[in-house]
A = this chain, B = another copy of it.
């Protein structure tokens, strides 16, 4: 197990270590989904370098994790794209496929999923734009599908509702695995139904 111990990169290729560290971290997270067990030392060791080598490419551990976030979001986006791709042209079916793929991703890669939604940098310094847009790219897949079902105007809110429902399910499954829940497919279907049947959004503004 482990340590590719690559011998020192050549002159122009220092960036290679950056990728090596990211994939090392991703590998470790696949083996142990608990994000607290992911230390700078184990990551760098797995990549075959000493711990402080990380600081050549990342400002700190948090920066590395943020880089992982964008990578994980990209992976999720791909998973959703794939799932929707091999499905007939029915928008509702596409939405279901996406929802199921989302739940599958969360269950199959719990560590990666946890990284994506790990609390933002405490306080001041906000989430970098790269992370934000990577997240948004994944989310907009749902929005586009929803638009084909409920129309452009309601798409964002509808997709948000569905997303929050899916996310809630994955996180509860993780923190309370003993909690009894129906199967994923039924759940997704319910969510899609709720989406199609919801009132056309309280007009301009609340009234009752």
Contact = CB atoms under 8 A, between A and B. Distances in A.
A177 interface: yes
A120 B177 contact: yes
A34 B119 contact: yes
Q: How many interface residues does chain A have, given as a range? A: 35 or more
Secondary structure class of chain A's binding surface, majority of residues: helix
Contact of A119 (B117, B174, B194, B198): B174
Contact of A171 (B36, B135, B168): B168
A163 B160 CA distance: 16
A78 interface: no
Contacts of A175: 117-120
A140 interface: no
Contacts of A39: none
Given A119-B174, A175-B119, A198-B193, A182 B167 contact: no
A157 interface: yes
Interface of A: 32, 34, 36-37, 114, 117-120, 122, 126-127, 132, 135, 156-157, 160-161, 163-169, 171-172, 174-183, 186-187, 189-190, 193-194, 197-199, 202, 206
Given A160-B181, A160-B182, 11 more contacts: A34-B119, A37-B122, A114-B119, A119-B175, A120-B176, A127-B176, A127-B178, A156-B180, A161-B190, A164-B172, A189-B202
